[in-house]
């Protein structure tokens, strides 16, 4: 995974701008959850995120974490990675795709070398205006294939 160095202020500024542009409130909980996502810098479940902030936000509820993750997805500051069992959340929003193991649930990033033009053409035939594509490929990871 590429090295991404961002200051707390820069991380906060990005979220604050996105929240304000959508008329959403900037709250300490939202800022802290966003910082934790950036610090973890990997695909995480809502439960993992809740555990990561438990010492700083001991009373944050699971529904609050889920609602915040969904809001961040709507804002474009986070991506949902569908997988069996429970979705994961990806702080990486650049163009890339995911390999999801249907056995163990492991998720791996793959660079967006896949040409999405055919999918975009199909979308336009349906009078849909696409702006980005996310490909999730399910199968068996290296470890599960060996088992």
Condensed to tens digits (0 to 9), the pLDDT of residues 74-86 reads 999 999 998 888 8
Q: Which fold has domain 94-146?
A: Dna Ligase; domain 1 (3.30.1490)
Condensed to tens digits (0 to 9), the pLDDT of residues 18-55 reads 999 999 999 999 999 999 999 999 999 999 999 999 99
CATH class of 8-88: mainly alpha
pLDDT at 42: 95
**How far is residue 143 CA from its own chain's centroid?**
24
Cα(35)–Cα(12) distance, rounded to whole angstroms? Answer: 8
> Global pTM?
0.80
What are the sequence ranges of the domains in the chain?
8-88, 94-146
- Token pair 């290296």 in the structure block, residue: 142
Q: Please count the helices (runs of H) and the strands (runs of E) in the chain.
A: 6, 5
Which residues, in sequence order, are bridge partners of residue 100?
A: 107, 138
What is the CB neighbour count within 10 angstroms for residue 120?
16
- Assess whether pLDDT exceeds 90 at residue 69: yes
Condensed to tens digits (0 to 9), the pLDDT of residues 120-137 reads 889 899 999 988 777 888
């Amino acid at each position: 995974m590429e090295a991404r160095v961002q200051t707390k202020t820069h991380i906060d500024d990005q979220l604050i701008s996105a929240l304000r542009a959508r008329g959403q409130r900037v709250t300490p909980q939202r800022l802290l959850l966003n910082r934790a996502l950036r610090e973890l810098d990997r695909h995480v479940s809502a439960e993992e995120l809740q555990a990561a902030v438990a010492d700083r936000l001991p009373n944050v509820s699971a529904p609050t974490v889920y609602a915040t993750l969904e809001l961040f997805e709507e804002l474009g500051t986070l991506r949902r990675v569908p997988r069996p069992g429970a979705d994961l959340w990806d702080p990486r929003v650049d163009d890339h795709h995911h390999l999801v193991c249907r056995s163990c649930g492991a998720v791996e990033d793959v660079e967006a070398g896949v040409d999405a033009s055919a999918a975009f053409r199909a979308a336009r035939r349906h009078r849909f205006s696409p702006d980005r594509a996310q490909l999730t490929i399910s199968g068996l990871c290296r470890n599960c294939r060996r088992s």
